Amino acid sequence: MTHTNRLDNLAIFSGIPAFTQKLHVGRPNIGDRDYFMAMIGVMLDRRWLTNNGPFAKEFERRMAERLGVRHFLAINNGTIALEIAIKALGLTGEVIVPSMTFIATAHALQWLGIKPVFCDVKPGTYHLDPACVEKHITPHTSWILGVHLWGQPCDIDGLQAIADRHNLKLLFDAAHAFGCSYNDRMIGNFGNAEVFSFHATKFFNTLEGGAVATNDDGVAARVRSMRNFGFVENDFVAYEGTNGKMNEAAAAMGLTSLGSVDTFIATNFRHYQQYGRELADVPGISVIEYDEAEQNNFQYVILNVNESMAGISRDELVEVLVAENVLARRYFYPGCHRLEPYRSDPTTNRDLPETAKVVEETMGVPTGTAVGPGHIHTICQIIRAAVTYAAEIRARKAQRLMATLV
């Protein structure tokens, strides 16, 4: 089926959807099933299902080796990993954070009684603006929380310089950045600690999971204790703690994913290149680029939609794609500062013009091992058709709306 011949081919009008099954931005990658199932059998035979089991220890060891980091501590999910890191690092008062991030980044702070202070992204980037950070430092500021977005590291050097200048500490949310590098050094080695997510929607998953990576022995000791209710040895609790342990099934999936991670990355890279080629001449549509001089996971293919050039808005394009069963996703609309409880608080719902612009223009499209070149070709045809027929799409939608009001 082609979506470039006639406007009626588009499913938002009278056309048949291009795909019978929904295509997701982050459908899980699955490694060697036989290997995973064999490990589950071993786990059941051992009757060791959780509590720092052999698979969890092996997963931590191998991941630390891959990242070149001193400590890699597996946690049951990324949000709990962030909360434990916050507690272990002693964050207090106010923490400066981008609004251009998943809501869990802000919620982890708020949940623990710490005030997130939202800062804008740097123009021309999608990352925390060091100049904005410096303007919002107060006597109550204790930390900066940077976010590596879509596998692209934020301005680590710029943020570290500010942290050093103002005697602040630096934590990174690296949920999107496993397998990526910054100045030839793997993400996981920066700041006082970095937090990963291995949720099922991430290109590298442990079913559900996360981790804290650090080169600080003291931080590692506190994280290790706090993920196990604060125990440091039998019957002795040294810290406030929670249950953040990664179970053996999740660790087995992590080891399975580790065996296929290079294949996953290679697939992501091919998809990223194909989207770039096929959309290169579509007015107003651009693929956000990775720095190919660094190691990348190419986990997300993010498009920027320039409405004035494309003739169609990002939201209108998402509507066209969703009707075709392509579940394109807006990132990270409308910004954390425009979501509750921050929206109702005048001290957190501040004007962030660059963030407001970015969240209106960016969208993710399907990639990963669940899609192939044919899927991507069709998706690109749909996008091309939406731009080609942008004026007619708007006119027809307006007619349809008027008809409902009559």
pLDDT, tens digit (0-9, with 9 covering 90-100), for 60-107: 999 999 999 999 999 999 999 999 999 999 999 999 999 999 999 999
Q: Which of 99, 300, 87 is nearest to 212 (CA)?
A: 87
Q: What residues does 364 pair with on adjacent strands? A: 302, 329
Q: Which residues pair with 186 in a beta bridge?
A: 181
Mean pLDDT of 225-236: 94
What is the maximal distance between C-alpha atoms in the chain? Answer: 73
| Helix H or strand E segment including 20 | none
* 297-339 pLDDT tens trace: 999 999 999 999 999 999 999 999 999 999 999 999 999 999 9
- What is the predicted pLDDT for the residue at 403? 78
Map residue 59 onto helix, strand or coil. helix
Distance in angstroms (rounded) separating the CA atoms of residues 97 and 99:
7
* 291 phi, psi to nearest 5 deg: -80, 100
Domains of the chain: residue spans and CATH: 7-27+261-405 (3.90.1150.10), 33-256 (3.40.640.10)
pTM of the predicted protein model = 0.94
From 265, 238, 246, 144, select the one nearest 196 (Cα to Cα): 246
Mean pLDDT of the chain: 95
**Do 251 and 58 contact (CB within 8 A), yes or no?**
yes
Residue 370 pLDDT: 96
pLDDT of 141 above 60: yes
- Whether residue 195 contacts residue 173, with contact meaning beta carbons closer than 8 Å, is answered with yes
Predicted confidence at residue 1, as pLDDT, reads: 44
Please give the pLDDT value at position 406. Answer: 62
pLDDT value of position 399: 84
Q: Yes or no: say if 73 and 308 are a contact pair by the CB < 8 Å rule.
A: no
Cis check for the bond before 28: say yes or no (omega within 30 of 0).
Answer: no
259-276 pLDDT tens trace = 999 999 999 999 999 999
How far, in Å, CA of 144 to CA of 349, rounded? 18
Quick one: pLDDT at residue 176? 98
pLDDT digits (tens, 9 = 90+) for 11-43: 998 889 999 999 999 899 999 999 999 999 999
Q: How confident is the model at residue 197 (pLDDT cuts 50, 70, 90)?
A: very high
Contact 43, 252 (CB under 8 A): yes
Task: Give me 320's structure tokens.
Answer: 């066209």
**What burial class does residue 310 get, using C-beta atoms within 10 Å of its C-beta: 0-12 exposed, 13-18 middle, 19+ buried?**
buried
Q: What b-and-e string marks burial along 46-79, b requiring 16 or more CB atoms within 10 Å of the CB?
A: eebebebbebbeebbeebbeebebebbbbbbbbb
Cβ neighbours of residue 335 under 8 Å, at least 6 residues apart?
Answer: 99, 100, 118, 352, 355, 356, 359
* Percent residues over pLDDT 90 in the chain: 92
User: Between vectors from CA 199 to CA 352 and to CA 299, what angle results, nearest 5°?
Assistant: 65
Task: Over range 191-218, report the average pLDDT.
Answer: 98
Q: 75 in helix, strand or coil?
A: strand
pLDDT digits (tens, 9 = 90+) for 45-64: 999 999 999 999 999 999 99
Structure tokens of 238?
């040294």
Residue in 249, 393, 368 with CA at minimum distance from that of residue 310: 393
